[in-house]
Chain A
Amino acid sequence: MNNTTKMLITLGFIGIVAGGSLSFVNNWATPLIAANQKAETERAIFLVQPEAKSYERIDNLPFEAYKVFDENKTFVGYSLPYEGNGFQGKIRLMVGLSTDLNNIIAMEVLDQIETPGLGTKILEEPFKDQFKNLNSSSPIEWVKGSPPSKDNEIQAITGATISSKAIVAIINNGIEGLKKAELKGEEK
């Protein structure tokens, strides 16, 4: 047998065996991975909608958004995952909104790579709790140094103004996008 043929046969054989075993493992793993991802999305959706029991993805949107329902299948609001630029990289949030989109129910940070100790304060309760029951009929705003005075304001974190500003901007963009899409839909 000449050398080139031998090389081809060896590589071909290894390739076939490798491909075969990979497809076997992949068949086993794919449903599990999908289930994991679904569980994670569900957990995040319900995290910002305490009353929710079921959800449904809104179709025909340029981004992800979910309508959520309580145990009687009544429409109670929206869960909106949205992302944008933070101080060091992408921040991904989940925002819970009321049915008319004019009230924020809660906010959770799903992914972030902010500065440990400073920017990561956006993960802590004192900051996140500020977003509960925030009026979102107009864009929300941030203040610095003093407690917020209006019902659409939050106080930025000392030393992490940029991260705080980024969160506010992401939420505003998300709500604006959803309002545009949903309200237009209702007019039709």
Chain B
Amino acid sequence: METVTENPSYKLELTSSPHIHSRWSTQYAMWLVVISLIPAVITAVLIFEWYQLVIISVSIATAIGTESLIKYIRNRKLTINDGSGVITGLLLALILPPNFSLFGTVIGAVIAISLGKEVFGGLGYNIFNPALAGRAFLQASFPVAMTTWTIPNFAVDATTTATPLAAMKFDKIYTSFSPLFLGNIGGSIGETSALAVIIGGVFLIAMGVVNWRIPLSMLIGIVLFGGILWLIDPTKNPDPVFHIFSGGFLFGMFFMATDWVTSPITAKGMWIFGIGISLLVVLIRVYGGLPEGVMFSILFMNGFVPLINRFTQPKTFGAVK
């Protein structure tokens, strides 16, 4: 449909405020996110070989292709330039298991963009984090392939390919701190190295792309809830440090939970959101049937964001309740 401004009979172009532009744009922020993910990509190649780059490229290409196709079918303007498709593709690839099938990657990226984002009306309208939605679909569809982990390159003990969380949950084997920190463990392509993820995450916070409240509240939450369970029974429940550095917690904390569209906009809301995620992560990891729960926790809390926003709306100055 035509809009008024595109009608050639009008001489004056009408746009609503704001009229002052800063260097900040969706595009600028999105490219900063891409830069922040470079350390994770590099460590992924170091730990799991070059093939992971193929998965990443396929995922990004499919994401962009799907978005263009849907925009074309729906007769809307192309929005590839905003970089959100690239981010979704990149994030999705980084949370897949290493050496995942390319066909599966394509399905995941198509679902992430189409069902995760475009059915709601595109960027800004989606309720759930698109990359996580894509992964959740793959997890439910191919539970075996999605939990088949590759032995890391520098593995000391090559007999087990289980992730530290699975080893803890099913066999009560603890992984020591240094492999967890450097990433020399079984796990998704981009999430194993806590160091690389922290470098990227701190960069994002320093540049002001993501709000520090969500990561901080998640950290406090996991120390609190993980710590309580650990103090109750240290032999059965993992300590909070293990909770933080294992699985996808750090990756989800910096790159998934902080997604602009699917996290609360109020400061108070962000605290509720972050602590809620951590509570769910601890509950799923300790009492659930699955070893890891970061993905479901974030998706679950995503669903509460509209409610959280509504109940934490700051009072207008001078307003009487």
Contact = CB atoms under 8 A, between A and B. Distances in A.
Interface residues of A, number: 8
Nearest to A121: B144
Contacts of B289: 87, 162
Contact of B144 (A87, A118, A144, A162): A118
A161 interface: yes
Given A87-B289, A162-B289, A117 B144 contact: yes
B170 A118 contact: no
B144 A159 contact: yes
A156 B142 CA distance: 20
A115 B289 CA distance: 11
A159 B170 contact: no
Contact of B143 (A87, A144, A159, A162): A159
A147 to B, nearest CB: 15
Interface in A17-51: none
Interface SS of A by simple majority: loop
A118 B290 CA distance: 13
A161 B143 contact: no
B175 interface: no
Contact of B147 (A87, A144, A159, A162): A159
A117 B170 contact: no
Interface string B147-187: 10000000000000000000000110000000000000000
A118 B289 CA distance: 13
Q: Which of B143, B147, B170 has the most CB of A within 10 A?
A: B143
A117 B139 CA distance: 12
B96 to A, nearest CB: 17
Interface string A51-75: 0000000000000000000000000
Interface in A142-167: 144, 159, 161-162
A115 B170 contact: no
A4 to B, nearest CB: 50
Interface in A78-126: 87, 115, 117-118
A161 B170 contact: yes
Contacts of A87: 289
Nearest to A115: B143
Nearest to B141: A117
B68 to A, nearest CB: 33
Contacts of B144: 117-118, 159
Contacts of B142: 117
Interface in A133-187: 144, 159, 161-162
A162 B288 CA distance: 12
A112 to B, nearest CB: 16
Interface in B276-296: 289
A10 B152 CA distance: 77
B245 to A, nearest CB: 24
A117 B147 CA distance: 12
14 contacts: A87-B289, A115-B143, A117-B142, A117-B143, A117-B144, A118-B143, A118-B144, A144-B170, A144-B171, A159-B143, A159-B144, A159-B147, A161-B170, A162-B289
Interface of A: 87, 115, 117-118, 144, 159, 161-162
Interface of B: 142-144, 147, 170-171, 289
